[in-house]
Amino acid sequence: MNKNFIKYTVIFTLALFLYSCNIFSPDYEHFDNISLRGDNKTVKGLMQNFVYAYTFKDSFLYEGLLHDDFTFEYDNEGTPETWNRDEDIRITKRIFRNFKNIDLMFNTIFPEYTTFEDTTIYTSFNIGFYSGDDIVNFTGFARFIYQKVYVTEDSSIYRIKYWEDLR
């Protein structure tokens, strides 16, 4: 058998394999509660991206979901605490780094369309943190305020302006 024939056959087979699947892309069909990335032009799309960012620990996507004036608020044993966008991003990146898998599911149907500049939604959610052997699951309640941000005169997207942990 000709060495060149074998070499070209191997190269052709490898090229065909690489063309037929993207080895760098996650196998999305193995994720039950995640759809492909949403469109921030709707609150529903923004929250699809929120789940996507947590599921795939995508801190760059997460940063783009937050309004420049973002505030997170929670109750620290009777004392209200808040932090701003930069601190939230720093903490979220730490969470993404320290857990092997994060599974987030909101128990709300988010609106596809709204005409309001600000939209407030109360929701419950389930989140699981997997660090190898340990699994920690939480059920939580939150209030989100979304603000429409104009990218151009004719185009807008939503960003999360306020997130309150309601326990």
Percent of the chain with pLDDT over 70: 78
Specify whether domain 37-165 bears CATH 3.40.50.720: no
Separation of alpha carbons 102 and 92, rounded Å = 12
pTM: 0.75
Please count the other Cβ atoms lying within 10 Å of the Cβ belonging to residue 95: 13
What DSSP string runs through 72-125?
Answer: EEEEETTEEEEEEHHHHHHHHHHHHHH-SEEEEEESS---S----SEEEEEEEE
Listed by start position, the domains of the chain span: 37-165
Summary mean pLDDT of the chain:
82
- What pLDDT score does 5 carry? 52
Cα separation, 33 vs 105, in Å, equals: 7
Q: What count of residues does the chain have? A: 167
Q: Does the pLDDT of residue 11 top 70, yes or no?
A: no
